[in-house]
Structure 1
Amino acid sequence: MKKFLKQVALGLLVFISVNTVIAVIYEYPTYKSVQNKTNRNYLKWEAIHHNKNSYDFIIVGTSRAYASFNPVIIDSSLHTNSYNMATSAQDIVETYYSLEEIFEYQKPKYIVLDLFFEASDGIYDYYQTFSNSSFFNSNQRRYNLITKGYGTAGVLNFSIPVVKFKNYIKQDIIGLFTNNKSLRTEDHWIKGYLYDTLTVSQSQVSNFEPISNFENTTFNEERFDMYLKKIERLVKSNNAKLVCVRTAYPPSRLKLNKTDDEGAYFKTYMAKENIPYFDLNNFIDDHTIYSDQDFADYHHPNYKGAQKASMQLVEAIKRIQEKNN
């Protein structure tokens, strides 16, 4: 019995030690970036929390949105004060609770939500989710996100570093044996928008894979439906207008798909729910205005693509305004 207890105690000690080391390695850079005021999620929430009732136009969604919409371009045309609150790998559950936090401090007239199959699938980047929600002022809201939004899996990923960081640990181990380097640069931000000067290379273009569809994602229709409706009710209850968009893909990548499951699904769903929806891949004249050189990688626009996307969004909002007048 004593031997067994010693083995259990040793195993527990190893478990705690490993998780402590992992937590230090992966949490410390976040801590330092907050201290240095360079953490982007921290700065975004600082803008929301400390400029109360200042923003009347807020963008939410994944990194596809934070690289697509330049508030300066939007504001100059619509005479708004917009802010881009999209974040990396933002899951639709995370979007809902982020909006709860936003509405506590802001009274926007418009909420623009970027739609993306992978933002409503069964694979979550808990590290990104909890990094974003760690800057909520409301502890209760953060708790609800973890427990109600993700259940037992959420609690485990929040509590155990080796579980939360497993994907990043795997990537770092693979990186030790490869020469792959990230091409993303995140040193120029404007009101939450990433001004990216990188242009996708021809070798990257030649390796493009089909866009999100029912076969290559785990898109969860039931989960999407539940949280999109929760988002719509939340936005409406705060006297704001929900506008949904689908940001653009490089044309060469679009051509790889025989059918556009993602675009067709969102178009049909939004028409049924009577929610304004604009697909930037074929808006305004049913054809793309983008070239591959408008992108930094396989699905993030660079500053040239963002200029086009921002003007498309301006036109979309103007159409809504004209319709309502």
Structure 2
Amino acid sequence: MVVYSGNAQRSPCDHENATYCEIARQLAAIKGFAYGGLFDASCAYAGPLYFVPSDTFVTLASARTLGIHAEQHLFGGVVPYPFIATKTITHALPASGAKAPPGWSFELAQRVRDVVLPGYSAFSIDDARDAGMALLRHGALRVKMASGIGGLGQWVVADSAELDACLQALDAQEVARDGLVCECNLAQVETLSVGQVRVGDLLATYCGTQRLTTNNAGEEVYGGSDLVVARGDFDALLRLALAPAALEAIAQARAYHAAVLQAYPGMFASRCNYDVAQGCDEAGRRYSGVLEQSWRIGGASGAEVAALAAFRADAALDAVRASTMEIYGADAHVPANAILHFQGVDERAGPITKYSTLAPHADP
């Protein structure tokens, strides 16, 4: 069991590396493997490796060079083109002649349009402006860089002047390479997480909500997740007593997942997570839709793996509640029963504490 950062889209910081390593240790215990720390290309390993990569592998060839040919070989995913690992696949292009990267599926947007928010993806500043102007006819919109994570790299614009100012501040080459999303902006929004993880013979499926917090720079960012995790597939999850909003999010995530696999049959993933936003626009219209996907270790993975460990330890256990917490600042309290992933001063994020907890699940 090794942690791999050779496919990282950006260099992981201290708290991310520490979290990846702690989760890999737990996965090694679940699978009965030895934990080998960070992958060392110069090391002659005694046997096959199971990888915990920091990012999705964005070509099939890059994964195969490491011996990764199927979901059984990693905690994460492999896609045939880089853009498939980003939120840009969620929406259509703003026009038939808009720029698109090689491998782009024009059919996918049609298949998922009923389970995502109103929006467009763009790979040029001009196309992004066309997309933004079309959305502004219905209210404020959110511009989101494909490379943004944890709520960063996003801006809300309310009119054409704000749109132009936002787009002019962006790096045109980065937009051309990675793309961006223009999407209707929701107020009083709740973000739900729907996902599934498979490790060895264990399969777990979950739904829950995300929390926001304020980081050390005063920005609103991801602060953790609270999940209900069922042993088994989506049908097992649906046998639990869930709120109507959760049922809607699960249905949308399942449809999105199936559509992506149909559009890009070469991809595979052992960890799938879908963010679903539910809220109202400025006119009071309610929306629910998938924002993006993640086929890599993520913010909820501490909770996912804690649930898998509980299922491994107790064959009669069918469901648990699992949470992750990310707390900025130097005065964070860690519960006695928590699994600590990181507590210290990160060179980029500043003082931060990250941990996961587990609790029994009981239907109301």
> What is the TM-score when the length of structure 2 is the normalising length?
0.28
Higher relative contact order (CA closer than 8 Å, sequence separation 6+)? 1
> What is the TM-score when the length of structure 1 is the normalising length?
0.30
Which structure shows the higher helix fraction?
Answer: 1
